[in-house]
């Protein structure tokens, strides 16, 4: 079964908690704090695997979780790091954030890896907090939670050449003639319901990968027919071969077919019309094909048209040479619209710093604090004792949360909510 799109929930491992411990050994008075740090959680990593051809393995795996890190131990011993969870996907897989539709990773090379969900750091043990003024701290940190998100995983075939055209124009037959691929071929529309790949060998020794896609119809880019579900597979193609039924076997006009398919390609994203296009006038053995070809050349005099009869493999060699020549100078079309990094080393980019927290007035003496920085500080802080609570309060003062609440109008006795936990504001 060919599956090229799945939605997953990925969750990286939580970091292990730091430990509160003290060294207690014979003949070692006042040994001091010895609580170790927690281990890092496991990352969720996607890896491209050339042995995979479909996303079928992920269709029934809706959740991908990485293990948590181990907690810190006595004698300053570090907790075990969580093992990374590696998900094998086919070459050509794109991973997008389901909420923003932003591309996280584009895996095009064998064994290429990308971290999709980043693991949480381990919490520090009480040994890390010893100072000359506080020689016996009785608090430690909790491990950071791992990154959690919904992702859309899409497979976009790694083909050099894509065959496009209306149903039953001979695309599958063409692929079967020029390669060892065995697509299903029949005399009815939409025989091809999944993309097919074939390795094509040119007589002069050159080779390329060709993809046969389900037939397009008018409105395909807007979601009509079968072809719209597979247009993504020609996004990586550098050359498009437009196959036209010049014999008008189904009663369609070849000129109109060419116009409609190009409109669908131009309506789709990723600059498909910028790719070099080769036109194939197929089924030239049918009655009326020669007349239609004459009309077609008159309407599009600048196009180079290759006459073929794929069912008897006629006219294939000139077509293959033309495709190989086109590929020799056809540029790559990256799917990620970003500036290519041309220099080696670290590239620093200016990004406006996000505020650590925001204050929201809920009315009736109730306030809400949120923000990535303050939520991380809360989730890594224990509040099991007075000493823990005092330390967390000092951390909030250093972040100037108290000042921000006062400026917003928070009064003594108001309720402040942070991560679904309520606190009372005290002046």
Task: Tell me: is residue 165 an annotated ligand-binding position.
Answer: yes
Q: Give the H or E element holding residue 372.
A: helix 372-379
Q: How far apart are CA 242 and CA 257, in angstroms?
A: 10
According to the annotation, is 285 in a ligand binding site?
A: yes
100 is in an annotated binding site: no
54 is in an annotated binding site: no
Which residue shows structure tokens 């093992």? 83
| 213 annotated ligand-binding residue | yes
For residue 176 the two structure tokens come to 């079967």
Answer yes or no: is 97 a known binding residue: no
Q: Tell me: is residue 191 an annotated ligand-binding position.
A: yes
Question: Would you say 192 is a known binding-site residue?
Answer: yes
Q: Which helix (H) or strand (E) holds 77?
A: none
Spatial distance between the Cα atoms of 230 and 14, rounded to a whole number of angstroms: 38
> Alpha-carbon torsion 373, 379, 381, 385, what sign?
positive
Q: Tell me whether residue 425 is annotated as binding.
A: no
194 labeled part of a ligand binding site: yes
167 labeled binding residue: yes
Residue 82 is assigned to a ligand binding site: no
Give, in order, the Cα–Cα distances in Å from 130 to each of 4, 134, 159, 354.
54, 6, 60, 31
What contacts 85, CB < 8 A, 6 or more positions away? 42, 43, 44, 45, 64, 65, 66, 67
Asked whether residue 166 is marked as a ligand-binding residue, the answer is yes
Q: Is 87 annotated as a binding residue?
A: no
Query: Distance from CA of residue 194 to its chain's centroid?
Result: 22
282 is in an annotated binding site: yes
In angstroms, rounded to a whole number, what is the distance separating the alpha carbons of residues 14 and 152?
A: 23
3 is in an annotated binding site: no
Is 403 annotated in a binding site? The answer is no
From residue 377, give the alpha-carbon distance in Å to each of 2, 36, 419, 427. 45, 20, 11, 22
Please indicate if the annotation marks 208 as binding a ligand.
no
Spell out the residues 6+ positions from residue 145 whose beta carbon is closer than 8 angstroms to its own. Answer: 14, 15, 120, 379
Q: Residue 333 annotated as binding? A: no
Residue 172 annotated in ligand binding: yes
| 414 annotated to a ligand binding site | no
> φ, ψ for residue 209 (rounded to 5)?
-100, 130
The owner of tokens 């393995």 is 57
CB contact set of 93 (below 8 Å; sequence gap of 6+): 46, 48, 55, 105, 106, 107, 153, 154, 155, 156
- The binding site comprises 165-172, 190-194, 212-215, 282-285, 309-311
Binding residues for GTP: 165-172, 190-194, 212-215, 282-285, 309-311
Binding site for Mg(2+): residue ranges? 172, 192
């Amino acid at each position: 079964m060919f599956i090229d799109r799945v939605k997953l929930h990925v969750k990286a491992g939580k970091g292990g908690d730091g430990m509160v411990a003290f060294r207690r050994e014979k003949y070692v008075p006042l040994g001091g704090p010895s609580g170790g740090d927690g281990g890092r959680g496991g990352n969720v990593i996607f890896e491209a695997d050339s042995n995979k051809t479909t996303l079928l393995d992920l269709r029934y795996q809706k959740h991908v979780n990485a293990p948590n890190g181990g907690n810190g131990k006595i004698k300053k011993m570090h907790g075990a790091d969580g093992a990374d969870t590696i998900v094998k996907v086919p070459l050509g897989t794109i991973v997008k954030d389901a909420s923003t539709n932003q591309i996280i990773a584009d895996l095009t090379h064998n064994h290429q890896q990308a971290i999709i969900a980043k693991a949480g750091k381990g919490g520090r043990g009480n040994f890390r907090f010893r100072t000359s003024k506080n020689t016996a701290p009785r608090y430690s940190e909790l491990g950071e939670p791992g990154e959690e998100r919904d992702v859309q995983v899409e497979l976009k075939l790694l083909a050099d050449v894509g065959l496009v055209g209306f149903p039953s124009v001979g695309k599958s037959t063409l692929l079967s003639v020029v390669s060892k691929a065995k697509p299903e071929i029949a005399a009815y529309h939409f025989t091809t319901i999944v993309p097919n790949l074939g390795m094509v060998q040119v007589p002069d020794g050159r080779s390329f990968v060709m993809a046969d896609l389900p037939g397009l119809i008018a409105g395909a880019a807007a979601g009509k027919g079968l072809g719209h579900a597979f247009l993504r597979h020609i996004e990586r193609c550098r050359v498009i071969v437009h196959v036209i039924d010049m014999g008008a076997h189904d009663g369609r006009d070849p000129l109109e077919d060419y116009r409609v398919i190009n409109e669908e390609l131009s309506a789709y994203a990723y600059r498909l019309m910028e790719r070099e296009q080769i036109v194939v006038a197929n089924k030239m053995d049918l009655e009326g094909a020669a007349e239609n070809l004459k009309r077609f050349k008159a309407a599009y005099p600048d196009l180079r048209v290759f006459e073929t009869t794929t069912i008897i493999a006629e006219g294939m060699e000139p077509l293959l040479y033309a495709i190989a020549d086109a590929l020799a100078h056809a540029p790559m079309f990256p799917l990620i619209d970003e500036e290519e990094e041309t220099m080696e080393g670290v590239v620093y980019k200016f990004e406006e710093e996000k505020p650590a927290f925001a204050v929201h007035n809920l009315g009736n003496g109730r306030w809400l604090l949120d923000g990535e920085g303050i939520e991380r500080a809360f989730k890594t802080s224990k509040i099991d004792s007075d000493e823990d609570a005092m330390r967390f309060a000092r951390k909030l003062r250093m972040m100037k949360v108290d000042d921000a609440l006062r400026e917003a109008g928070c009064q003594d006795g108001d309720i402040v909510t942070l991560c679904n936990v309520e606190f009372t504001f005290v002046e």
